[in-house]
Amino acid sequence: MKKQKNTFNLALAAMFLALAYVMPFLTGQVPQIGAMLCPMHVPVILCGYICGAPWGLTVGAIAPLLRSLTLGMPPLFPKALAMAFELAVYGLMSGVLYRVFPQKKINIYVSLLLSMIAGRLVWGVVQFFFMGLDSTKFGFSAFWAGAVVNALPGIVLQIVIIPIVVMLFEKTKIINRSIQQ
C-alpha cells in the first residue's frame, strides 16, 4: 500500500510540476498579465493540498528553477530563486495546514490564506536578503507592490479556483486516497 501511495503521489506531483511549467505559457504573451495572475502558484498550492507537504514543497522549489534554467524565464537571480523559496512555502504550508485543521470547508480557505501570506512573507524576506539587506533597494513599498498590489488578480484567482478544485478532489476521494494508501 505504501508503495502505491508513493507512486500515486509521484505521478500527481509530476503532473503539478508540468502544469507549473506550462501554465505561464498561457499568460506569457503579455508579461504584465502573466506576472499579475501568478500562474505557477496554483499547481504548487494544489500539490500541497492533494499530495501533501513534502511533495508541495519539492514541486514549489523546483518549478521556478526548472523554468529559469530551461527557458530563461523567470531570470534566475533574484526572481527565480526568490520564487523557489516562496513557492516551496506555499506547497509546504498548504499541505501541512490542510491536514492539521479540522476537515471543514472553511478551513480550506483558512489554510489557503495562511499559506499565501506565509509564502509572500518569505518571498519578501528573500528579496530583501538578495538586495543586500538594503531597504533603499527593496523596502516595504516594493514588498507591498510585488506581494499584494501587482499580484491582486492572481490572489483573487487562487482564492476562487483552489478551494473549488480541492473540494472536487475531496468529493472524488482522490485526496483521501493519496493520504490513506
Q: Which residues of 77-96 are buried (b: 16+ CB within 10 A; e: fewer)?
A: eebbbbbbbbbbbbbbbbbb
Q: Which domain holds residue 170?
A: 2-180
- 98-115: burial string, b at 16+ Cβ within 10 Å, e else: beeeeeeeeebeebbebb
Q: What is the CATH number of the domain that holds 146?
A: 1.10.1760.20
Residue 174 pLDDT more than 80? no
pLDDT score of 75 more than 70: yes
Q: Can you give the pLDDT at residue 177?
A: 41
Predicted confidence at residue 176, as pLDDT, reads 60
Across all residues in the chain, what is the average pLDDT? 92
Report the pLDDT value the prediction gives residue 103, as an integer from 0 to 100. 87
Residue percentage of the chain with pLDDT more than 90:
81
Per-residue model confidence (pLDDT) at position 157:
96
pLDDT digits (tens, 9 = 90+) for 11-68: 999 999 999 999 999 887 777 777 799 999 999 999 999 999 999 999 999 999 999 9
How many domains does the structure of the chain reveal?
Answer: 1
Tell me the C-alpha distance between 22 and 58, whole Å. Answer: 17
Q: What is the pTM of this model?
A: 0.93
pLDDT of 180 reads: 40
